[in-house]
């Protein structure tokens, strides 16, 4: 989702209409004991066939299903976390919902466990995942479709949402960087109604033995225009930089013409989509004590393909996360790979470059609205 310099698009809960299960009634909880609460859940479950869907994908589908079917316990969509053999989500109700995705002698493989609130203070087994849903193999079709749950696009529509990520860089480029973005209000940009996103990027990097420091601030303009689509309109940014003892400032305005639609949130596992980014870029550079360099206007047009390659765990200095892995292709060559937190869309690892010139970017700290995730 064009997240290399900003943390903007973050995900919505998938509407998994293909799951087998009962309706999503919002009955108020009547269970008075942990056993009764578990029994109330099982009353809505049904025996179903076995599935070949991956454990991580099946767990995601189960938890999405639970949020729809049992809102009295799981009242909002949450990102998926990892602890031991579990994939789990924590809710404002105080309830934790988990699925066992790897063998552990203390728990039942593919078992569903709940804890907190009406379910008590210890993990309570409520049944096998397949007693609640029939996991569905993701559609292998090539084009975007229903929201895949990797991003929380609803946060893009929540004014004031702030995301902060610090990174370390290793490989061909070393050093550190930080990104910060804040969701603003709806404004008009080049005749289009768009959401204004303020961002700041700070870098201290070394490439080929040459050190450079930069601070970039700006505003990006985009708007959610579908369940799994975000339309991109452009950006205005200003930066200061230091390079080999010289300092300067640069201002850049990008206008996408026509606006292009980001569809990564609608890719099925294994699916791809191709888009073209075209428009104008106006760059003005100034060095203290020297005449201002006139703004340079250039046309650009680049075509990219994005592939949703896998759902997998990744460990970075900030922690271990369940992620969606996206590959960005130039022709048939993978030019960069990005791992975003499943259910949030924040990139915690990015690998860019070709053989001999590969740079790896890993998160050292991740925050949303000041809270570590």
For residues 310-316, average pLDDT = 93
Q: What is the pLDDT of residues 113-133, one digit of tens each?
A: 999 999 999 999 999 998 998
pLDDT at 147: 83
pLDDT value for 332: 77
pLDDT per residue as tens digits for the range 200-222: 999 999 998 999 888 889 999 99
Is residue 275 a contact partner of residue 260, using CB atoms and an 8 Å limit? Answer: yes
Q: Residue 231: pLDDT above 90?
A: yes
Alpha-carbon distances of 62 from 19, 45, 58, 323, rounded to whole Å? 9, 11, 6, 17
Phi, psi (deg, nearest 5) at residue 131: -80, -15
What's the distance, CA 340 to chain centroid? 5
Q: Per-residue pLDDT for 365 more than 60? A: yes
- What contacts 24+ positions apart, CB below 8 Å, involve 320-326? 320/82, 321/82, 321/348, 322/56, 322/80, 322/81, 322/82, 322/87, 323/348, 323/349, 324/148, 324/150, 326/264, 326/267
Task: For residue 107, name the pLDDT band (cuts at 50, 70, 90).
Answer: very high
pLDDT-derived band at 50, boundaries 50, 70, 90? very low
How many other CB atoms are there within 10 angstroms of residue 351's CB atom? 17
Q: What is the mean pLDDT of residues 261-281?
A: 91
CA–CA–CA angle 54, 57, 61 (5° rounding)? 135
Half-sphere exposure of 112 (CA within 13 A, CB side): 23
Domains of the chain listed by start with CATH number: 34-131 (no CATH), 154-372 (2.40.360)
What integer pLDDT is reported at residue 4 of this predicted model? 32
What is the structure's pLDDT at 79? 76
- Residues 144-183: tens digit of each pLDDT: 667 888 998 888 888 999 999 999 999 999 999 999 999 9
Pairing of strands 333-341, 124-128: unpaired
Assess whether pLDDT exceeds 70 at residue 53.
no
- At 69, which helix (H) or strand (E)? helix 55-69
Measured between alpha carbons, how far is residue 124 from residues 20, 48, 114 in Å? Answer: 23, 22, 5
Instruction: Identify which has the larger pLDDT, 193 or 18.
Output: 193
Could you give the CA distance from residue 11 to residue 13 in angstroms, rounded to a whole number? 7
Q: Quickly state the pLDDT bin for 194 (edges 50, 70, 90).
A: very high
The structure tokens listed for 370 are 């000041």
Does the pLDDT value for residue 26 go beyond 60? no
pTM surpassing 0.85? no
């Amino acid at each position: 989702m064009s997240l290399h310099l900003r943390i903007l698009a973050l995900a919505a809960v998938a509407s998994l209409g293909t799951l087998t299960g009962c309706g999503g009634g919002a009955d108020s909880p009547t269970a008075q004991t942990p056993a009764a609460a578990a029994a109330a859940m099982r009353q809505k479950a049904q025996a179903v066939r076995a599935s070949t869907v991956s454990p991580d994908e099946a767990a995601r589908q189960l938890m999405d299903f639970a949020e729809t079917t049992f809102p009295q316990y799981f009242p909002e969509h949450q990102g998926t976390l990892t602890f031991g053999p579990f994939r789990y989500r924590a809710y404002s109700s105080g309830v934790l919902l988990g699925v066992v995705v790897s063998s552990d002698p203390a728990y039942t493989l593919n078992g569903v466990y709940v804890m907190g609130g009406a379910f008590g203070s210890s993990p309570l087994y409520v049944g096998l995942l397949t007693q609640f849903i029939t996991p569905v193999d993701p559609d292998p079709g090539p084009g975007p479709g229903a929201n895949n749950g990797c991003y929380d696009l609803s946060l893009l529509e929540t004014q004031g949402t702030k995301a902060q990520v610090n990174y370390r860089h290793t490989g061909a480029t070393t050093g550190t960087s930080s990104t910060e973005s804040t969701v603003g209000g709806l404004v008009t940009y080049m005749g289009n109604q768009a959401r204004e996103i303020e961002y700041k990027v700070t870098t201290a990097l070394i490439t080929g033995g040459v050190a450079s420091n930069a601070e970039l601030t700006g505003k990006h303009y985009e708007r959610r225009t579908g369940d799994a689509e975000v339309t991109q309109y452009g950006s205005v940014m200003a930066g200061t930089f230091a390079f080999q003892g010289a300092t300067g400032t640069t201002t850049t305005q990008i206008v996408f013409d026509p606006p292009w639609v980001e569809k990564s949130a609608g890719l099925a596992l294994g699916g791809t989509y191709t888009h073209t980014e075209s428009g104008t870029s106006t760059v003005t550079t100034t060095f203290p004590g020297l005449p201002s360099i006139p703004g340079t206007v250039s046309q650009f047009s680049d075509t990219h393909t994005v592939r949703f390659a896998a759902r997998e765990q990744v460990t970075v200095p900030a922690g271990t996360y369940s992620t969606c892995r996206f590959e960005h292709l130039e022709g048939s060559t993978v030019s960069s790979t990005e791992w975003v937190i499943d259910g949030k869309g924040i990139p915690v690892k990015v690998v860019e470059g070709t053989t001999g010139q590969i740079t790896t970017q890993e998160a050292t700290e991740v925050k949303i609205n000041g809270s570590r995730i």
